[in-house]
Amino acid sequence: MKEIKIFCFGFGQVAENFIKKIYSEKLKINLTVTSRKKSETKSFGNLEYKTFQFSEDSFDQKLIKNLKSSDHVLISVAPVKGEDIVIKNFQNNFNNNEIKWITYLSATSVYGNHSGKWVNENSDTKPTSPNGIDRLNAEKSWLDLAKKKNLPLQILRLSGIYSNQKNILARLKTGDAKIINKKNQFFSRIHVEDIANVLFKSLQNFKSKEIYNVSDDKPTSPEELILYGSRLLNIEKPKAVDLSSVESEMIKNFYKDSKKISNKKMKSFFNYKLKYPTYVEGLNHIHNNTI
């Protein structure tokens, strides 16, 4: 593969791990990213790259030149006030005939509540949370733009992301983890390295206008995850509390939805074997290597 000219709208943990994966494979990268901070030149290992200021109400005009010359575009910025700010500001700049790959990172919150049942990419999308509603609207905006301009777009719906730095073990150690009394509550998760690996696979195995769930093999209850983490750390499990006593709107919204995310399409199309197929492998690795 020749040099990849990649533009990342947002450079959080997913985008960073994706670039780290490309870099580890010794591929040549021409990288541009956006940040809410000032424009500057930075380095990633031996890779020097440009970061341009971009927020919902302003951006560095110089980034347009780099966007127009890129052949791969990753969008990982969240909608703002219900609107995708990349489309809002740059939809007229996606006219590059050389563009090969656009990936929009969405979330499985678009499915809403399915009462603990399995969902796949063909399941009803009936989001209940503001985040899920905004993500589904953003997906539709990107699909409409891709159809209008014949753009090579794929959408990845990500389950709850955890990493070596951000995970249930870290929350247990700080006392932030709580067991919520709610039966038939299932959710799915995915380690950030597996997301990066799927993105890397898609560089050479790409089908436009497709949607994939990116999730591990074992949806589980939040309580099961916390109990396993507590045993790993050899600490007492947190006390259970009723959902009605929780003040956080984010947590309340999270517990509105219960579903098990199927990853069969993702694993089959990309011929991918998960590095961390369940929370057991993921948390064991974190415990043995970072704690």
User: How high is the mean pLDDT of the chain?
Assistant: 94
pTM: 0.96
**What type of residue is 272?**
Y
CATH 3.90.245.10 fits 4-164+189-217+260-276, yes or no: no
Nearest to 101 by CA among 151, 37, 54, 143: 151
Phi then psi dihedrals of residue 264, to 5 deg: -60, -40
The per-residue pLDDT for range 241-289, each reduced to its tens digit, is: 888 787 788 888 888 899 999 999 999 999 999 999 999 999 999 999 9
The per-residue pLDDT for range 188-212, each reduced to its tens digit, is: 999 999 999 999 999 999 999 999 9
Nearest to 55 by CA among 32, 31, 77, 73: 77
